[in-house]
């Protein structure tokens, strides 16, 4: 199977109304060329799961500015004023999730776990509408897993099977999201032949990756 495809073909897998995940932390480790192509295509009514909404001109924030997102699930939005403007105007549904909880929800989605218990958010607005369970006198919230139709992630060096090596902190949410979507597309800074990567350096095995696009510098 040839997993290396064009950016145009990669973006063709994303349709109006889909749920997508985008890796990165304030744009660090985000698939920038895929995001730009998604903006250009104009796919709309998306549900976006990501750590944050980036900046207006960096990362997933470009999709917010272009009004392609109908629902955002993220840990914070403070670096993108447009996200707050659309939320306050009732034009964008925003679900704010504690960062650790968000990461674990995605991990649970990838692992096939039906949910997990956490004390984070008990006694705050986070608990509204959620089931509370008491164990040994301590109250926990039941948090449900998150999955997506498509995950767009970024890797530093990727072989043609999809084995991924990340650079520094760019791995962040990418490793989790690679397991939690029906279709996973990785934007690679460098694409190499199978066998060129030391297996001990592989963080995300190629079995999780469906398609690869070249990201360049």
31-61 pLDDT per residue, tens: 999 999 999 999 999 999 999 999 999 999 9
Q: What is the pLDDT of residue 215?
A: 67
In 3D space, the residue among 77, 1, 19, 24 whose CA is nearest the CA of residue 215 turns out to be: 24
Residue 216's pLDDT band, with cuts at 50, 70 and 90, is low
This prediction's pTM: 0.94
11-29: pLDDT as tens digits? 999 999 999 999 999 999 9
**Cα-to-chain-centroid distance, residue 153:** 7
- Which domains are present in the chain? 7-114+145-213 (3.40.1080.10)
Across the chain, what does the average pLDDT equal? 96
Please give the backbone phi and psi of residue 169, each rounded to the nearest 5 degrees, phi first: -75, 0
C-alpha 11/C-alpha 152 separation (Å) is 10
Q: How confident is the model at residue 217 (pLDDT cuts 50, 70, 90)?
A: low
Average pLDDT on 189-215 reads 95
Q: In this predicted model, which residue has the larger pLDDT, 215 or 112?
A: 112
pLDDT class for 2, splitting at 50, 70, 90?
confident
Structure tokens at 209: 């990756």
**């919230």: which residue's tokens?**
141
Residue 179 clears pLDDT 80, i.e. is over it:
yes
Helix (H) or strand (E) holding 73: strand 69-74
């Amino acid at each position: 199977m040839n997993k290396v495809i064009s950016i145009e073909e990669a973006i063709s897998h994303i349709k109006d109304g889909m749920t997508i995940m985008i890796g990165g932390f304030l744009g660090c480790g985000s698939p920038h060329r895929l995001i730009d192509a998604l903006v250009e295509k104009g796919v709309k009514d998306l549900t976006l799961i990501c750590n944050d909404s980036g900046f207006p001109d960096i990362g997933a924030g470009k999709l917010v500015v272009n009004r392609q997102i109908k629902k955002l699930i993220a840990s914070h939005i403070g670096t993108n004023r447009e996200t707050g403007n659309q939320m306050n105007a009732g034009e964008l549904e925003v679900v704010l999730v504690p960062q650790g909880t968000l990461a674990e929800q995605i991990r649970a989605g990838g692992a096939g776990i039906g949910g997990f218990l956490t004390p984070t958010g008990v006694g705050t607005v986070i608990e509204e509408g959620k089931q509370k369970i008491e164990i040994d006198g301590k109250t926990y919230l039941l948090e449900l897993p998150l999955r997506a139709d498509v995950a767009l992630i970024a890797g530093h060096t990727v072989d043609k099977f999809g084995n991924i090596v990340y650079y520094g902190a760019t791995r962040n949410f990418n490793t989790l999201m690679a397991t939690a979507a029906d279709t996973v597309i990785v934007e690679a800074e460098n694409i190499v032949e199978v066998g060129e990567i030391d297996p001990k350096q592989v963080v995300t095995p190629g079995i999780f990756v469906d398609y690869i696009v070249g990201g360049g510098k």
